[in-house]
Structure 1
Amino acid sequence: MTESNRKPIGVPPRRRPDNLSVQNLVKANRSSGATEGDSTGTSPAAAPLPDTASKQVTFYMAADDLKRAKAAYTGTSGQEMDRSWSDFISRAVLMEVERRERLYNEGEKFQGGARKLAPGRKIQL
């Protein structure tokens, strides 16, 4: 490698509140007061998600199983009326949830589910 004679350009400039970049558009367009019908005065960002709101989920899956699932999705999404890959995955997970509820909980929903799951492998007791 050869040594460069260029001077370092320094740290990036600080963002100013008046600089409305893409990241700031949503924040800039929110009203500062409570929205109509919101008597608590809390911002929508601070409110908990409703039960029907979508939330991103990340998980790991064996590569061969993922290929198999993608092939099944692309091959049947029209016949099964899947709105998206997310819809396909969500329906598959819920089918397993319903099976476990029937098998282990007399068809009733399990209690809980709000706390975060522990990362990594399950601890053997």
Structure 2
Amino acid sequence: MTESNRKPIGVPPRRQPDNLSVQNLVKANRSPGSNGESAPASPTSHSGPLPDTAPKQVTFYMATDDLKRAKAAYTGTSGQEMDRSWSDFISRAVLMEVERRERLYNEGNRFEGGTRNLAPGRKIQL
């Protein structure tokens, strides 16, 4: 190989904060009124509580074998049952159990409450 007379370039110069594309994204996603500009409201930029029909993330634990069984049932039948998603499948399954308990224990009426947080952890077995 031949040697070059060129000096090594080194690392590129740091960009100034006003040139970063991330900053442009931040400006575009700021809520209206924060910098005097008016911007159209997006579905996620509302103030106040979520409507009762808005989806809310739920986390729960399930035995591994039961989870595998549920996933297999979902993947094997989601086309025939017209499930929109795994969440739709789980939601429908839970609501079927809710309706069963309402029929059995509350004459088919909805139970009162449901607004308090559930106690974390396992229920104590006596």
Q: What is the TM-score with the length of structure 1 in the denominator?
A: 0.68
- CA gap of 1:26–1:114, structure 2 versus 1, over 3 A, is farther
**1:67 & 1:26 partners in 2: Cα distance?**
42
- Equivalences for 1:30-69 in 2 at 5 Å? 30-32=31-33, 44=46, 46-69=47-70
Query: What root-mean-square deviation, in Å, do the aligned CA atoms of Structure 1 and Structure 2 show?
Result: 3.1
- CA gap of 1:106–1:73, structure 2 versus 1, over 3 A, is same
**2:119 & 2:77 partners in 1: Cα distance?**
34
Cα deviation 1:39-97 (Å, max 9, x = unaligned): xxxx72x4111011000000000000000000000000000000000000000000000
Q: Specify the alignment match of 2:87 in structure 1.
A: 86
The structure 1 residue matched to 2:23, chosen from 13, 20, 26, is: 20
Aligned residues: 101
Q: Percent identity?
A: 73
Q: What is the TM-score with the length of structure 2 in the denominator?
A: 0.68
**2:76 & 2:103 partners in 1: Cα distance?**
30
Gaps of 5+ in 1: 1-17, 37-42
Gaps of 5+ in 2: 1-19
Q: Specify the alignment match of 2:105 in structure 1.
A: 104
**2:32 & 2:93 partners in 1: Cα distance?**
39
Divergent runs of 4+, >4 A = 24-27
- CA gap of 1:115–1:25, structure 2 versus 1, over 3 A, is farther
